[in-house]
Amino acid sequence: MTDTILRKSIYLKATPAQVWAYLTDPAKLAIWFHKPNAALVEGDYEMFGAESGDKLMWGKVLIAEPFTRLEYTFTIVPMGDQVSTVKWSLEEVPGGTNLSLRHEGLPQGAEAFGLTLAIDKGWDDHLARMRTSAHEE
């Protein structure tokens, strides 16, 4: 069985520093994703629903190289004890930034496919909100 890996890539009319803020700053994360209690730096984190306040995801930031690369483990309740990894890379391009996402280590098998579909759609929705907000700045 091969690993399930989600890959996304978007172009943003924003500098790598501005995009980095969307990936690490609690106020910016709350706009498009979930809200941590502190900025994402190497070490443990938890993220909460911006409106509900419920704990939605948690893990550990493994790599935080400002403006270029962010990696963290990712767990949500439906995954049980399974831990996946989210890897972001930022590349400056003329006029903005190319932001790439690689989400790997997702649960395997036919019974987990519904969760994979939900996470895939979730990333699409989250990235669309990031794009909208970044382009309004």
Per-residue model confidence (pLDDT) at position 65: 98
Please report which confidence band the pLDDT of residue 70 belongs to, taking 50, 70 and 90 as the band edges. Answer: very high
pLDDT of 52 strictly over 90: no
pLDDT of 68 strictly over 60: yes
Mind listing the domains of the chain with CATH numbers? 5-136 (3.30.530.20)
Which residue has 């309004």 as its token pair?
A: 136
Q: What percent of the chain clears pLDDT 70, i.e. is strictly above it?
A: 99
Least confident of 19-28, 43-52, 86-95: 43-52
Per-residue model confidence (pLDDT) at position 2: 59
Per-residue model confidence (pLDDT) at position 41: 96
Q: What percent of the chain clears pLDDT 90, i.e. is strictly above it?
A: 83
119 burial level (CB within 10 Å; 0-12, 13-18, 19+): buried
Cα Dmax for the chain = 44
**Which position has the higher pLDDT, 49 or 69?**
69
- Whether the predicted model's global pTM rises above the 0.75 cut: yes
pLDDT of 89 strictly over 90: yes
How far apart CA 94 and CA 121 sit, in angstroms, is 29
Mean pLDDT within 62-72: 98
pLDDT of 1 strictly over 60: no
The dihedral built from the CA positions of residue 101, 8, 125 and 74, taken in this order, carries a sign that is negative
Per-residue model confidence (pLDDT) at position 103: 97
